[in-house]
Structure 1
Amino acid sequence: MKIFTTILLCLLIITTGCSGEKEEKKEVTTSSQASSEKANAKSEKDSKKEENNTEPSSESQSAIFKDLPIVPTNTIELVNQSPGLYADQEILVDEIEKDYLPLMKKVPVLNENATEEDYDKYFRYIYSLVATDFADPQDLIKKWEFSKFGNENMEDPRLQFKENYNIEIILDSSGSMAKVAQGGKTQMELAKEAVKEFLANAPEEANVSLRVYGHKGTGSDADKEKSCSSIEQVYKLKPYNQEEFNKALDQFQPSGWTPVAGALESSKASFEGLDAKKNTNLIYLVSDGIETCDGDPVEVAESFAGSNVSPIINVIGFNVDAEAQKQLQQVAESANGIYTTVSNGEQLKTEFQRAQEVLENWESWKNDALRDADAQRVDNSFDILGFSNDWNSKSLRQRLNISYSIDMLREEGKITFDQRDELRKRNYELEDLAEQSIDEIRDDLHDLNLKKIEDLRKQINDKYNTNTQ
């Protein structure tokens, strides 16, 4: 019995020991699992945090703030500022914001002890994206001169009417003209509408021509040679026949590359023999992009304008980006013509209406009935009002876009509330400059409108000439 009791006691001790070992092992295991789960949760949380607040590497930070434009500090710089990638667009519109917001997300967090230089850098980054495209008063003055076309006292002989009036429209038909721009219509459709409306009332005695480029092939590299050589005068220089002209205009669609230089070369060849002594020669080039066929349109335009044909080459940039705008401006300037940027069909029609008025003036000149100068001054006053309204509209859009961008940086945790207010101050200063500048320009334009047209070019160039910067 004593032996049995001793065995039973041993078994009880062993069982209790094993049970305790199991409980201890279970406790250790549970503790280990809890620690692991906690670590995993922390890791996942940190991962998400990193995902939402990913900081660019020092190399990518450097790229973000590389070659940023200087924010304007005076009227000349404001007039000549390059438009940003999102110029005059409403960046809070859903389809635009989805592309714009990532540009704010990749900005590094602004240092807590940010310097003035740091604030300037961040503001310049925003400005580089949404800077607007302010109109140049020099372009308006050139249009006034153009409206006085035919005056025998004009210093530029090209602006004196001759016995024959020849006008050619060179129309870009590259693939990008298929872009939908307004009311569900493509840029090409809007351009064709404007051209038709322009020539609908052309004088019977005037000769018109239509040249098109980039209308064959595709935008692929394989089709480059074919497309770049596709330059065609689809309506030969002759009196306007509406049915025949419209048939020529409607036969092509946007397709390939952009041989601007080649188109001007082709035009120059077809105008040979139309000496400026007896011919008023006017070229209208409508393009939505930069030369892509390896030509030099600026050099060709300068050569064309310097020939005995002496045409006035006016250029209309249709929804162009900053790079294309710069080149097309140079094309117009090299030929002493007018450059205009338009963003919709109505603006394009307005530019052609100005040319239509000149055609009507030429017809009146042939009948010895010159336009009254006072009426011209009234028209110029409306031009000034339109210039001012457009400036103020662009200034407002620029201010709002900068403000929205600053708020985005705050929401993304890139800046603090105090830093947001500091950046806002710079936005207010830029808006004040825009208001002061348009007041100054508007007063100057009204003063110039009262002076003789031949004095306008010199005075406006002296004040706003980009070479004085």
Structure 2
Amino acid sequence: MKKNIMVILFTVLLVLTGCNEDEKKVNNSNDQKTAENSVSEKETTEEDKKEKHFNVEDLPAVPSTPEGIVNQTPGIFAGKYVEEDPWTTKMLEKMKEVPNLPENATEEEYDQYFKYIYSLAADDFPDPQELIKKWEYAISGTPEATDERFQFKENYNIEIILDSSGSMNNMVNGKTQMDLAKETINNFLSTVPDKANVSLRVYGHKGTGSDSDKELSCSSVEQVYGFETYNNEKFNKALNKFTPSGWTPIEEALKSSKEAFSKYDAKNNTNLIYLVSDGIETCDGEPAEFAKTLPTSNIKPIVNVIGFNVDGEAQKQLKAVAKNSDGMYTTVTSAEQLENEFNRTKEVLESWNQWKEDALYDLDGKSTDVFFDIRDYSINYDQKARSQENRIWKIIQISNLEELITDEQEKELTERREDMEDLTTEALTKIEKDLGNIGDKKIEEIEKEINEKYNSSVPQE
């Protein structure tokens, strides 16, 4: 773009404001008090306009392809209901940060304004690549499991790394996120085979979120249980040892986990790490960078990263942790979704237990149920799409009611919203076809196809 449209709008608004103020001074030259008020009002207005000076080109492009929808950057209101406070108030604050559209706005100016709206409302659509990784994990122990991490070994070791920072006190359906996580984790570990070793590691559970407690909290990483077989009484005692309180040292937690796993070499051990977090690293660490050391270490862990009610910034970092550790990432917003993620491992462990006991291994029974996985993916995607469409609609509607945009401008922006609805529908149809077109293909062939189509490292229009 040769010119920054928002800068032009900003300049025009300043000129118009200046002209209006000059006119007020002429008409009220005999009224000193009014003139002083006008000067004061002018200064305030110009200060407000300075706050609206920003570069719209820095915002993510509005997707124009199905692949772009999947790889889009979630907005700050992803998953939020902007028609309800406090989100309505926050949304209006954001909309007032952008210069108003001119009365006779051009198509390009409308596009830029909609780009801003979309950058706020964009949701986090499920990535087909993550589904492929889960399918590959689901065939652990079978001849099709070409990745050595998924080939059954003599021992199975599981560690759950749980965020115990202060934000885990946030409420979900009447319970804190921590209470839901503890309950779900306990239910999961109580079902693992007796021969599996389990561990629970927590971080950020000491001190508070204040700056004075940062050093204490950031150094608080503790293995509160294991590695050992699950014992209900002992594990429940471990769960009661900590409550959400402090900062978020994700890198330090991964480091201590790697060190604890070091005695379990991948040649004889299947090592599984679950990282459950609801926020971004706050202790100056670089967890995504450290994650690169895990696949090349002697433990070669299978890493599952779960973002619990995370915002766009945290999701970006946690996805990078999963990618760099050659692991899997999932966003969950409820205890049920968290439980579903653990259930995938539960099924793998049942097969491992059979393998350990030299039972007849049923390969057909181990095959991935593609139909139901695609159905669940479609339901999740559709919920995200509807949420995003409603969010954009509400932003436009409320902006009109608050007289930030005119009726005609609302109509123009609504047309762009409808175009995006069509694209999200088209994207789901295409993804379902890609995922469903499997036939007798091997996992590695499926993975290659999906990665080529939905690779997030490739810029999407």
TM-score range, shorter chain: 0.7 to 0.9
Residue pairs, 1:65-464, within 5 angstroms:
65=56, 67-180=58-171, 182-367=172-357, 368-373=359-364, 376-377=367-368, 379-448=369-438, 450-464=440-454
1:255 Cα offset (Å): 1.1
Whichever of the two has the greater Rg, that structure is: 1
Shift of 1:103: 2.7
2-structure distance, mates of 1:56, 1:443 = 53
How far did residue 327 of structure 1 move? 1.1
Equivalent pair of 1:172/1:287 in contact (CA under 8 Å): yes
How many angstroms does 1:56 deviate by? 7.3
Q: Which has the higher helix share?
A: 1
- Could you tell me how far apart the structure 1 residues matched to 2:186 and 2:227 are? 16
The CA deviation at 1:412 is: 2.5
Which residue pairs with 2:54 in the alignment? Answer: 63
Shift, 1:422, TM fit: 1.1
Identity of aligned residues (%): 52
1:74-115 deviation per Cα after TM superposition (whole angstroms, max 9, x unaligned): 122111111111112111123322322333344433112211
CA offsets per residue over residues 236-258 of structure 1, 9 Å max, x none?
A: 20111111112101210011111
Counterpart Cα distance in 2 of 1:465 and 1:373: 30
**Distance in structure 1 (CA, Å) of the matches to 2:96 and 2:255:** 47
CA distance in 2 between partners of 1:289 and 1:109 (Å): 34
Change (3 A) 1:234 1:95: same
Q: Give the 3-state SS of the residue equivalent to 2:438 in structure 1.
A: helix
- TM-score normalised by structure 1 residue count: 0.86
**Cα distance in 2, alignment partners of residues 57 and 66 from structure 1:** 21
Distance 1:423 1:67 in 2: 21
Q: Aligned partner of 1:262: which letter? A: E
TM-aligned CA deviation for residue 385 of structure 1: 0.7
AA of the residue aligned to 1:281: N
Q: Deviations over 1:342-391 (max 9, x none)?
A: 112111111111111111111122233334436634x3211111111111
In 2, the alpha carbon distance for the partners of 1:339 and 1:143 equals 10
User: How much does 1:415 deviate?
Assistant: 2.4
Deviation at 1:54, TM superposition (A): 6.8
Deviations along 1:280-320, whole A, 9 cap, x unmatched? 11011111111111222123222122111111111101111
Classify 1:236/1:403 alpha carbon distance in 2 versus 1 (closer, same or farther; 3 Å).
Answer: same
Whether the aligned pair in 2 keeps the contact of 1:399 and 1:431 (CA below 8 Å) is yes
Q: Is the 8 A contact 2:59 2:119 kept in 1?
A: yes
Distance, in Å, in 2 between the alignment partners of 1:304 and 1:467 is: 21
SS at match of 1:392: helix
CA contact (8 A) 1:142 1:338 kept: yes
- Distance change (3 Å), C-alpha of 1:101 and 1:206: same
Q: Is the 1:228–1:258 Cα contact (8 Å) retained in structure 2?
A: yes
The CA distance in 1 between the partners of 2:365 and 2:267, in whole Å, is 29
Which secondary structure state, in structure 2, belongs to the residue aligned with residue 309 of structure 1? Answer: coil
Distance 1:452 1:223 in 2: 52
What SS does the corresponding residue of 1:424 show, helix, strand or coil? helix
Question: Residue 105 of structure 1 contacts residue 412 of structure 1 at CA under 8 Å; is this kept in 2?
Answer: no
What are the superposed Cα offsets for residues 128-166 of structure 1, whole Å, 9 maximum, x if unpaired?
111111010000111111111111332210010001111
What amino acid maps onto 1:275 in structure 2? D
Q: 2:108, 2:48 → 1: CA distance?
A: 20
Q: Residue in 2 aligned with 1:3? A: none
| Structure 1: unaligned runs, 5 residues or longer | 1-35
- Give the letter for the 2:259 counterpart: A
CA distance in 2, matches of 1:385, 1:443: 12
- Alpha-carbon distance between aligned partners in 2 of 1:371 and 1:134, rounded to the nearest angstrom: 34
SS at 1:369 equivalent? coil
CA 90–327 in structure 1, closer or farther in 2 if over 3 Å, else same: same
Q: Secondary structure at the match of 2:142?
A: coil
Counterpart AA for 2:391: N
1:413 to partner: Cα distance: 2.4
Once the two structures are TM-superposed, the CA of residue 265 in structure 1 deviates from its matched residue by 0.9
Letter of the 2:186 counterpart: K
Distance 1:89 1:64, change over 3 A: farther
Residue 222 of structure 1, CA deviation:
1.2
Name the CA distance, whole Å, in 2 between partners of 1:65 and 1:271: 46
SS in 2 for 1:303: coil
- What does the per-residue CA deviation read over 1:151-206, in whole Å, with 9 as the maximum and x for residues that have no partner? 133221001000111110111111111111x2211111111011011112110101
2:21 counterpart residue number: none
Size of the alignment, in residue pairs?
429
Check whether the contact 1:108–1:414 (CA below 8 A) recurs between aligned residues: no
Worse-matched range after superposition: 231-240 or 360-369: 360-369
- Say if 1:244 and 1:120 are closer, same or farther in 2 by CA, change over 3 A: same
Q: Give the gaps of 5 or more residues in structure 2.
A: 1-27
- Offset of residue 429 of structure 1: 0.9
Deviations 1:313-351 (A, max 9, x none): 111011111111111111111111101111121111111
What is the CA–CA distance in structure 1 between the aligned matches of 2:366 and 2:152, rounded to whole Å?
Answer: 19
Q: Which amino acid aligns with 1:119?
A: Y
Aligned-CA RMSD value: 2.7
What residue is the counterpart of 1:21 in the other structure?
none
Structure 1, residues 382-441: CA drift from partner, whole Å, max 9, x if none?
A: 111111111111111111111111122222223222221111111111111100110000
Query: How many Å apart are 1:449 and its aligned residue?
Result: 6.2
Letter aligned with residue 90 of structure 1: Y
TM-score (norm 2): 0.87
Any conservation in 2 of the 1:298–1:330 contact (CA below 8 Å)?
yes
